[in-house]
Structure 1
Amino acid sequence: MADAYVALADGRVFEARARAPGRTRGELVFTTAYTGYEESLTDPSYEEQVLTFSYPLIGNYGVRDERFESDRVHPNAAIAREFTDDVAEWLTEEGIPAVDHLDTRDLVTTVREEGAMACGIVAGPEATPEAAREELSECKGMSEHLDIGKQVSTDEPYTVEGGGEYDVALVDCGMKGSIASSLAERGADVHVLPYDVDAETVAEYDPDVLFVSNGPGDPANFESTTELVETFTGEIPLAGICLGQQIVARAFGGETEKMAFGHRGVNQPVRDLDTDQVVMTTQNHGYSVADPGDLEVTQVNVNDDTAEGLESDEYDVVTRQYHPEANPGPHDSLGFFDEVLALAGDDSRTAVTAD
């Protein structure tokens, strides 16, 4: 007899096996990654979502905290065809419901055909289909999570030291830790700041570049971060990754839109429009830039032509929709951080102000 149930917005209820007890709800999404489950589960971009792994066995090389991208698991729940005991025990300790022994191929194809959707999950001895439906009925859409930045951002500024060759003000909208470490490895002192930091505080660091991180949810809800980018446009170089690209685009008059099921995995091909070179990338996003505004699209997704890179020579802007830090995933695009710091190294700029 099943001791877990997953209720979908399309009316179906899946029976499953409970691997970590609890009940919750969230937007059902999937990742095609077959390694990097620790990085995915600790990626703040999965906040308020239920993460389904399309690869059938999750946990075959254990759980090691040095691979974590943040200090906790972020999806509301996790689903796989089979979780190993190591992963099940970890998620139990984290208080994150997890279920397996269900047809994840069906779940993934459903999301591909119908789009990311609300779901409710209950796992444990008292689980019933009715309880899963109750959770489903309470689920909000991602655009309704107006304060999601507060859930994932740092509360207080801190610095990741990298030698002091550059100063990067990194706005934490749900940052993967490897972004800060990638910049620090290249000689930058990375000042990690809350998502709602004010311009005066940023100016106190006199940064060589303002960098907006990845994160969860609808970029339209990050109004204060968008206004911050507008304030420093033309003052210092600007950069962003994932949600950061979307926020920067909106600051330049662009528009963003929700995708049907997003890009989530380590196998997304991206083509550079100048060189015609294709690189494989790691991605995790459910929104994209529909209109770049005053920015130029420099890279596109091979599968659907969505914007993967934006730039502006006039305003010293460079952004990427994918994750160049590649944790997990291919290392094809690590040069992005060198591009950012090349902008930061321009000796012609003056001291930063908040005017």
Structure 2
Amino acid sequence: MSDAYVALEGGRVVEARSRAPGQARGELVFTTAYTGYEESLTDPSYEEQILTFSYPLIGNYGVRAERFESDRVHPRAVVARELTDDVADWLTHEGVPAVDNIDTRDLVITIREGGAIKCGISAGPDASPEKALEALDECKGMSEHTNIGAQVSVTEPKVVNADGDGPSVALVDCGAKGSIIDSLAERDAVVHVLPHDATPEDVTAVDADILFISNGPGDPANFTDAQALVSEFVGDLPIAGICLGQQVVAGALGGTTEKMAFGHRGVNQPVLDLETKQVVMTTQNHGYTVADPGDKLDVTQINVNDDTPEGLENEELDILTRQYHPEAHPGPLDTLGFFDDVLAMAKSTRRLVTCD
């Protein structure tokens, strides 16, 4: 008899095995990454989602905290073909339901054909199909999580690498991965990590050389405070962004974004640079994309598979964004030089930044 059930949008219920007990609801998505499960599970961009691993065995090299991207597991639940005891114990300790012994190939095909779908999970001794369906009924769409930034952001400003000799970076934490902050600090930048709802006064207070919008979960249209910062400082400060950050920058400058069918989540997404014609492999995790960058941003890189924008720039305004994760973790480091390019935008003679 099964002790876990996965209820899918439309009413289908799939039996599974419980590896970490509990009940959960969220948007069901999948990643094709075959390594880096610790990084994926601690990536804040998976907030309010249920993560399915397409790779069949998850946990074959244990669990090490030094690989974590944040201080907790962010998916609401985890689905795999097989989870090792190490990962199952970790998720149990974190209070995150997990199931395995399920045909993940079938789930991936379902998502690829129909798009990311709502999901409910019931796992453990008291699990039942009815409880899974109840969780499904309570599931919201990602755009309905209007304050999702508050769930993943710092609540107070903090400084990383305070003694650095490099530029001062005001990093707006919309759900930033730790390795993004580390990549800036390793280049001697002083990184001021600000809450997702930071004000222009907060940016001015840290004497910023660069405004940096981080990755994060959900619909970029809900990050109105971050968009307001971009609008406020465009032309006065260099502006950079990664993943959600690219979408926020585009939205603030007259562009539009849209939800993708099933998103890009994995470590082998090919990206073409339109100037050099070079293709690089990238790590990605996003369910929204820039539909139209508007007339202030040029598309400089595109996804080889579907032509969606992967890089936006405006040299005159010192704007540089990437849809993928140059810091990888896990994945290829082909594009790590992005951080050097960002910091190079902080000129020796800085513009005067004022708040009226």
Q: Same fold (TM over 0.5)?
A: yes
Counterpart contact for 1:215–1:242, Cα < 8 Å: yes
Distance (Å, rounded) in 2 between the aligned partners of 1:333 and 1:353: 33
Equivalent residue, structure 2, for 1:3: 3
Distance (Å, rounded) in 2 between the aligned partners of 1:153 and 1:234: 26
TM-score by length of 2: 0.99
Distance (Å, rounded) in 1 between the aligned partners of 2:301 and 2:355: 31
Distance (Å, rounded) in 2 between the aligned partners of 1:354 and 1:33: 44
Counterpart AA for 1:188: A
Classify the secondary structure of the residue corresponding to 1:39.
Answer: helix
Equivalent residue, structure 2, for 1:42: 42
Counterpart contact for 1:262–1:286, Cα < 8 Å: yes
Give 1:163 shift.
1.6
Instruction: Say how many residue pairs are matched.
Output: 354
Give 1:353 shift.
1.7
Distance (Å, rounded) in 1 between the aligned partners of 2:203 and 2:166: 18
Equivalent residue, structure 2, for 1:110: 110
Counterpart AA for 1:175: A
Counterpart contact for 1:52–1:78, Cα < 8 Å: yes
Classify the secondary structure of the residue corresponding to 1:136.
Answer: helix
Counterpart contact for 1:232–1:354, Cα < 8 Å: no
TM-score by length of 1: 0.99
Counterpart AA for 2:191: V
Distance (Å, rounded) in 2 between the aligned partners of 1:349 and 1:295: 22
- What is the Cα-based RMSD across aligned positions, in Å? 0.7
Equivalent residue, structure 2, for 1:256: 257
Alignment of 1:25-104 (within 5 A): 25-104=25-104
Percent of counterpart pairs with the same letter? 72
Distance (Å, rounded) in 1 between the aligned partners of 2:326 and 2:352: 29
Equivalent residue, structure 2, for 1:167: 168
Equivalent residue, structure 2, for 1:140: 140
Give 1:125 shift.
1.1
Counterpart AA for 2:91: L
Alignment of 1:335-346 (within 5 A): 335-344=337-346, 346=347
4+ runs deviating over 4 angstroms: none
Alignment of 1:172-321 (within 5 A): 172-293=173-294, 294-321=296-323
Alignment deviations for residues 216-273 of structure 1 (CA, whole Å, 9 cap, x no partner):
0000001111011100000010000000000000111000000000000000000000
Give 1:351 shift.
3.0
Counterpart AA for 1:135: A
Distance (Å, rounded) in 1 between the aligned partners of 2:355 and 2:53: 44
Equivalent residue, structure 2, for 1:119: 119
Give 1:119 shift.
0.4
Counterpart AA for 1:198: T
Alignment deviations for residues 6-45 of structure 1 (CA, whole Å, 9 cap, x no partner):
0000321110000000001000000000000000000000
5+ residue gaps, structure 1 = none
5+ residue gaps, structure 2 = none
Give 1:350 shift.
2.4
Equivalent residue, structure 2, for 1:18: 18
